[in-house]
Amino acid sequence: MIRKAVRFVDERTGTAPFLHKALRYLFPDHWSFLLGEVALYAFIVLVATGVYLTFFFADSTHQVVYHGPYAPLYGQHMSEAYRSVLNISTTVKAGLLIRQTHHWAANVFLAAIILHLFRIFFTGAYRKPREITYYLGVTMLMLALLEAYMGYSLVDDLMSGMGLVIGYSVGMAIPFVGANVMEWLFAGPFPGGESLWPRLYVAHVLLFPILIGILLTAHLALVALKHHTQFRQGRGETEHTVVGVPTWPGQTPRSLGLLTAVAGVLFLLGGLVQINPIWLWGPYHTYSSTNGAQPDWYLGWLIGGLRLMPGFDVVIGKYTLVPNAFWGGALFPLVVFGFLYFWPWLERRLTDDASFHNLADRPRDAPGRTAIGVAMAVWVVLVFVAGGADRIDVLFGISYVGQIWVFRVLVFVVPIVAGAVAYRVCKELQAGEPVEKNRHRAEVEARRYA
Amino acid sequence: MARAKDWLLSGLVLLLGRGRPQPRPGTPRVVARQPPHPRAELAVLALLGLSSACAAAFVVVYAVDRIPAQTQLLGLALGLSLVFLAAALVVTGKRLVPTEQLAEPYPPPGHPQEQQLVIQSLDEGVDGITRRRLLRLGLLGAGGTLALAAITPALSFGPLLRTAPLYRTPWRRGRRLVDESDRPLRADEIEEGSFYAAFPEGADKEEQGSPLVVVRLPPRQLALPGDLAGFDADGIVAYSSICTHAGCAITMYRSPKFAPVEPRPALVCPCHYSTFDPAAGGRVLFGPAGRPLPMLPLRVDGKGFLRAGGNFSGAVGPAWWGVRLRGAHS
């Protein structure tokens, strides 16, 4: 039967040579290569659960009165959007499972992308000839952040609204054009015109997923065309020879196993571990907010940036040049993503290295890169921690104001120290390698003569 | 009957019997040979069985309303079904199929010959054209204007160059203050140490220009700057409740219980903890806000109701480039 099918396909498409190559395509074997795959599978779960949610979601901020089964909100004024998500969470069968799985999948998607980025960065896998693959990846991270932000804005609960108005304000704070652009996007001043929700919705369920899908396809095609990088693992890997497991039969059950494992874990989380219990937050109104609100973790670094900034607008006469929210909300992520985009080019300039690289570095092999990467990562993580200073205040009773002042100093000092330490550790590891090798050889010899 | 029994028996034999395809003589193998592993096969079979049992459980839980904790059980069933499937696949990958480590050359870094052919084809295709530069300019012009025309409809999204609505608020002289359920607020019900939300009577509460925070301070504590003198009504002050930093609602009031040792009263935004001084015209005490809270002048009418004495002292909402150029208007 297989013989018949293969002949049918080949005679009509002429793809037997390609199929044979695809089946015997080699995947270098290392656990860290699975991080990107996890992101891919989380994306698949996101699309599948997301499509289900669209069948029940109402993209309207039209005000209605809630008469559903959730008693604490009975009789309250809320948007149709929020009511529809309440219904998904209470009356639609399996609705809450799918919604929570969707939210968990978003978290895992972003976590996997970020860990994948770390792997690519610290092993120098972005170097020639794989720069485009890397730029596509960084762009997808940016899109994924926006996509996730729009996703939890759409629910229109209290947390959504507080997040949305902060996003609006950061946009407003862009010098010269911010107010005009945000009024244009929101169809009027906040809370926006009637068409805002349909806009957000179509962006979240159509434009951004398609964009991510296209970039993802290009990303994977480039990976396949240029093959993966590989570590030196003593199996004969060189710059010119790739060593790995073929798609069929070695890699197929592993990848499918990872796909089903990711999906399984996500559904277990979605069913058993509560996430974003929107019925507790209540509906959003321009005039309502609550203390202790935190965004999802992947936006925590931005709230940290906004909170750390000392209070001033840059003003010339009566003209506000740079409103405060710009620094933490727009410039900070711009610097971080700017660094990510420019780094491959910068490294090429600094090291004068225009050659091809198919072998991945270990972090210690490039101490300079590792140091800079560690410093950047520590910087962002510190700002992220500063974003949780109010929680630290509540949990440990340490004054919020005092903490902010400490963090304002730490974010400059600690990254430099961390970078220096990372550099030193790399150098020590390098120096230790011949020693280790000698000792190993001596031990083997000693055992032989014993 | 006997026929059916025969069919059943032969079916079972086919299903349960062991066997592997005989190698075809003469053709070399493509994939390395994997030694048989009957126990792993049994394990995979068991895991597949468990997976399908869990999937069936999902259907049952969904169908039977009497089963409690639907979300948890549905998630458990579906999740476990997938996890068992994953385990079956992993055992297959580890034991049942060969895990060869093969080597092959990386694709070549470039194809100089083909590169040359591409360049030549591109060049030679248009080398009969004499006015190349002019035509290229024309093409660019046509493409550019067409692109411009294509994005023009996007202007309908919203007002692009009109920031006037950003200064507008529903407040005007004489408008009464009401609470969230539209009940007019009386001056004598505003107590010290408490925090009141207020809105313009009969206006849309969702506009950023609408909501107020109203507090009463001891008149001797008030230290309003010169241009805001008289904005209070016997110690009652009202500010826009939209933070001038990132537009969140100010819903926290720090009111000292032990006046001498605690910091002064302050209005606090819970988003980024911008802190404003209600006694000093909404001056920023701490946090990232770069502009004082706009203050609304208040007065008390003959019946004791609170009314606006005009519009805010400044533009309401998060800061933007024009926020200080004009004041709020009705």
CATH of the domain at B174: 2.102.10.10
> Looking at the complex, does the CB of residue A190 fall below 8 Å from at least one CB of chain B?
yes
212-271 in chain B: CB under 8 A from chain A:
241-242, 245-252, 269-271
Q: What is the mean pLDDT of chain B?
A: 93
Q: Would you tell me how many other CB atoms lie within 10 Å of the CB of residue A30? A: 16
B1 is a domain residue: no
Lowest mean pLDDT among A291-295, A439-443, B202-206, B301-305: A291-295
Contact A97, A52 (CB under 8 A): no
Question: What was the pLDDT predicted at A309?
Answer: 94
What band does B212 get if pLDDT is binned at 50, 70 and 90? very high
Q: Is the pLDDT of residue A188 over 70?
A: yes
The string of pLDDT tens digits covering residues A61-72 is 999 999 999 999
Which residues have a Cβ under 8 Å from the Cβ of A134 and sit 6 or more positions away?
Answer: A120, A125, A126, A344
Of B83, B101, B319, nearest to A244 by CB-CB distance is B101
CB atoms < 10 A from the CB of B324, how many? 17
B239-250 tens-digit pLDDT: 999 999 999 999
* CB contact (8 A) between residue A94 and residue B62: yes
Confidence tier at B32 by pLDDT (50, 70, 90): confident
List pLDDT tens digits, range A324-356. Answer: 999 999 999 999 999 999 999 999 999 999 899
A-to-B residue pairs, Cβ atoms closer than 8 angstroms: 302
**Is the pLDDT confidence value at B29 over 90?**
no
Interface of A with B in 406-435 (CB under 8 A): none
Confidence of residue B180 (pLDDT cuts 50, 70, 90): very high
Sign of CA dihedral B144, B146, B152, B153: negative
Q: Residue B56 is part of which domain span?
A: 35-98
> Average per-residue pLDDT in chain A?
95
Closest CA to A126 of A249, A241, A10, A226: A226
User: Which of B211, B272, B318 lies nearest to residue A172, judging by beta carbons?
Assistant: B318
Q: What is the mean pLDDT of residues B162-174?
A: 93
Q: Does residue B12 register a pLDDT over 90?
A: no
Q: Give the pLDDT confidence of A392-406 residue by residue, as tens digits.
A: 888 898 889 999 999
- In a shared domain, residues B49 and B177: no
Residue B113 phi, psi (nearest 5): -65, -50
Residues B170 and B302 in one domain: yes
Does B146 map to a domain? no
Beta carbons of A176 and B206 less than 8 Å apart: no
- C-alpha span between A268 and B80 (Å, rounded): 7
- Are B211 and A241 within 8 A, CB to CB? no
To the nearest whole angstrom, how far is the Cα of B168 from the nearest Cα of chain A? 10
Token duo for residue B274: 């911008």
Residue B263 C-alpha, separation from nearest chain A C-alpha, in angstroms: 12
The total domain count for chain B is 2
Q: Please give, rounded to a whole number of angstroms, the shortest distance from the CA of A202 to a CA of chain B.
A: 14
Judge whether B40 is closer than 8 Å to chain A, CB to CB.
Answer: no
Task: State whether residue B185 is helix, strand or coil.
Answer: coil
Q: State phi, psi for A163 to the nearest 5 degrees.
A: -70, -40
Asked whether residue B257 is assigned to any structural domain, the reply reads: yes
Q: State mean pLDDT over A313-332.
A: 95
Same-domain check for residues B203 and B302: yes
| Domain membership flag for residue B226 | yes
What's the rounded Cα separation, in Å, for the pair A238 and B221?
A: 78
Categorize the per-residue pLDDT at B10 as very low, low, confident or very high, splitting at 50, 70 and 90.
confident
What ipTM was reported for this prediction? 0.93
- Is B23 contained in some domain? no
Whether B128 is covered by a domain: the verdict is no
The Cα A239–Cα B293 span in angstroms is 63
Looking at the structure, tell me whether residues B173 and B92 fall in a common domain. Answer: no
Domain presence at residue B82? yes
User: Which of the residue ranges A122-126, A277-281, B251-255, B298-302 would you say has the lowest mean pLDDT?
Assistant: B251-255
Omega cis (within 30) before B23: no
Q: Say how many C-beta atoms besides its own lie within 10 A of residue B95's C-beta.
A: 17
How much is the pLDDT for B313? 95
User: Looking at CA atoms only, how far is residue B172 from chain A in angstroms?
Assistant: 19
Segment A138-173, tens digit of pLDDT: 999 999 999 999 999 999 999 999 999 999 999 999
Chain A residues closer than 8 Å to B321 by CB: 175-179, 319-321, 323
Partner-chain contact B97 A253, CB within 8 Å: yes
Question: What percentage of chain A carries pLDDT values higher than 90?
Answer: 92
Closest residue to A313, CB basis, from B197, B272, B290: B290
Omega of the bond leading into B105 within 30 degrees of 0 (cis): no
For chain A, the straight-line distance linking the first and the last C-alpha, in angstroms and rounded, comes to: 62
| ∠ Cα A86 A92 A98 (to 5°) | 85
In chain A, where are the structural domains located? 2-286, 362-450
CB contact under 8 A, B318 and A311: no
Fold exhibited by the domain A2-286: Cytochrome Bc1 Complex; Chain C (1.20.810)
Q: How confident is the model at residue B259 (pLDDT cuts 50, 70, 90)?
A: low
Looking up tokens 């005000």 gives A63
* Chain A residues inside the 8 Å CB shell of B165: 183, 188-189
Chain A: give the shortest CA distance to residue B108, in Å.
Answer: 8
Q: Are residues B64 and B171 in the same domain?
A: no
Taking an 8 Å cut-off on Cβ atoms, the answer to whether B157 and A184 are in contact is yes
Maximum Cα–Cα distance across chain A: 87
B118 belongs to a structural domain? no
Q: In angstroms, what separates the C-alpha of B2 from chain A's closest C-alpha?
A: 31
pLDDT band, very low/low/confident/very high, at B23 (cuts 50, 70, 90): low
Inspect the interface and report whether the beta carbons of A260 and B85 lie closer than 8 Å.
Answer: yes
User: Could you tell me the two tokens for A88?
Assistant: 């998904």
Q: How confident is the model at residue B21 (pLDDT cuts 50, 70, 90)?
A: low
